[in-house]
Amino acid sequence: MYTTRLYASLGIAGQERLITAWTRFRRLIREGVLYRKYQRQLDQTQWLDEAALAAYQEDAVAAALSYARRYVPHYRKSLSDRQTRQVFSWLETLPVIDKAWVRQHEGSLRSRLPTLSVSGGTSGSTGSPLMVRHDLASVIREQAFVDRQRAWASYRAGERRAWWRGDLIAPVARTDPPYWRLNKGENMLMLSSYHLSERTLQLYREALERFDPVIIEAYPSSVAYLAQYLKATGQQYGGKSLRAVLTSSETLSTEQRNVIEAVMGCRVFNWYGGYERVAAIGTCEHGRLHLLGDYSYVELAEVDGDLQEIIGTAFHERAMPLFRYRTGDTIEVATTGASRCPCGRAFPVVKTVVGREDDYVVTDDGRHVGRLDHIYKGIEGVAEAQIRQSASGEIVIAVVPLKSFNEGVRARLMDNAVERLGPGTPIRVETATRLPRTSNGKLRGVIREVRQETPSLAN
């Protein structure tokens, strides 16, 4: 909507009316009878004990497989009839699939049953996005899960909130404030993630404090940028009502979490999801990350030591069901001692969401080094940063410096990088006023250009 000609043609008040009207329309669709049914269901399923949760998962997977066997062309051919009583053995007759596979089989993965559905693309750093379809019930169910996460962060429906994500609320080319719009349909201040700079941060801060939201829902990079700036200038966020910051869509680093919590004066509730909707991780009232067992069925594949990759099976997706989908995202599951959470939920506890499996660089001696946010440990005066490795192997740490950034910080950053990557890898620290975003406005922490084969000269 934000990129339509209509939106662009309106003044700020007109844009706010349009956003409000659109939101009210969307709520009409999303928050009906079905929504309330899911909400009641999720209220209950979060308290299932281990055995009941396992039974719930088994039923949901069985229903999804049976549906696919009947209505989805690809699975009509490839999925055998249920031979055993064991649902998970039935599931495991299917191969693990990935994004490339889905792209290749897209046409035959859609249900033959006509369903009202929406499609959207997953963002990616390279190549075309993967188009995934969701039926209307899936959209509504997702809304119920998001609302449950908000409730865990002690937010109640209707309270003021700030939304600071990838929506193009103000045109990127616009240099004058405001970089935000008021959405009365949701009692929400929507802020642009595309206009952050040292010049505009004070304005963002004032807008937030004036609106005084109860929660801020944001890309980690947007809210961490503000927090870094406030910390560097010796300020604290002054909003009186803020209870929580809810982050999602980008990997949240420990450094980002620490600075947000310290400066914004509240806890961070991180959420992991994905447009494929095969897995979700939320944060409970006790600050623990939980792999949501009532959202999907997840198999964990060992990647490297304590790291595991999420392979997810959707429960209720009917327009385009995905089974055993390799997400490319890795997590670290809590060890047995820490696997129980005081909240009492049986959902497994996740120690950290590490991020994308391909968020690594290759050193001169061929090592693949991931979890690169360690490089920023103890670094101040940096609003945001990105690590890029070119095809030639050179690593550039691009940083957006704040006034307090100096040669000492640069040297420390280099030391940290050399410590992890070794002295033989060419590394450079580069400053920039702005770091590139994906088409959804997300900041990727690591970008690695794939080493190309030497092109043949024959033509």
> Which stretches of the chain bind Zn ion, using CB under 5 A?
284, 286, 288, 341, 343
Q: Which is nearer to Zn ion, 174 or 286 (CB)?
A: 286
- Cβ closest to Zn ion, residue 288 vs residue 316: 288
Q: How far is the CB of 146 from Zn ion (least distance, A)?
A: 18
Residue type, 108: S
Min dist CB 260 to Zn ion, Å, is: 20
Q: Least distance from C-beta 349 to Zn ion, angstroms?
A: 7
Give the shortest CB-48-to-Zn ion separation in angstroms: 14
**Distance between CA atoms of 354 and 309, rounded to whole angstroms?**
10
Contacts 24+ apart (CB under 8 A), 61-64: 61/87, 61/88, 61/91, 61/297, 61/313, 61/315, 62/87, 62/90, 63/315, 64/313, 64/314, 64/315, 64/316, 64/317, 64/321, 64/323
Cα–Cα distance measured from residue 389 to residue 416, given in angstroms and rounded to the nearest whole number: 17
Using alpha carbons only, what angle is made at residue 215 by residues 209 and 219, rounded to the nearest 5 degrees? 95
Could you give the 3-state DSSP secondary structure of residue 322? coil
Q: Which is nearer to Zn ion, 341 or 372 (CB)?
A: 341
CB nearer to Zn ion: give 189 or 341.
341
Q: Min. distance of Cβ 52 from Zn ion in angstroms?
A: 17
Reduce the DSSP state of residue 413 to 3 states and report it.
helix
Nearer to Zn ion, 65 or 284 (CB): 284
Nearer to Zn ion by C-beta: 319 or 350? Answer: 350
The answer to whether the peptide bond before residue 220 is cis (omega within 30 degrees of 0) is no
**CB 272 to Zn ion: min, Å:** 15
User: Tokens 């089974």 label which residue?
Assistant: 323
Contact partners, residue 378, CB within 8 Å, separation at least 6: 412, 416
C-alpha atoms less than 13 angstroms from C-alpha of 434 in its C-beta half-sphere: 13
Q: Which is nearer to Zn ion, 49 or 419 (CB)?
A: 49
Smallest gap, in angstroms, from Cβ of residue 108 to Zn ion? 40
How does strand 281-283 pair with strand 267-271?
unpaired
Tokens encoding 442? 């997300």
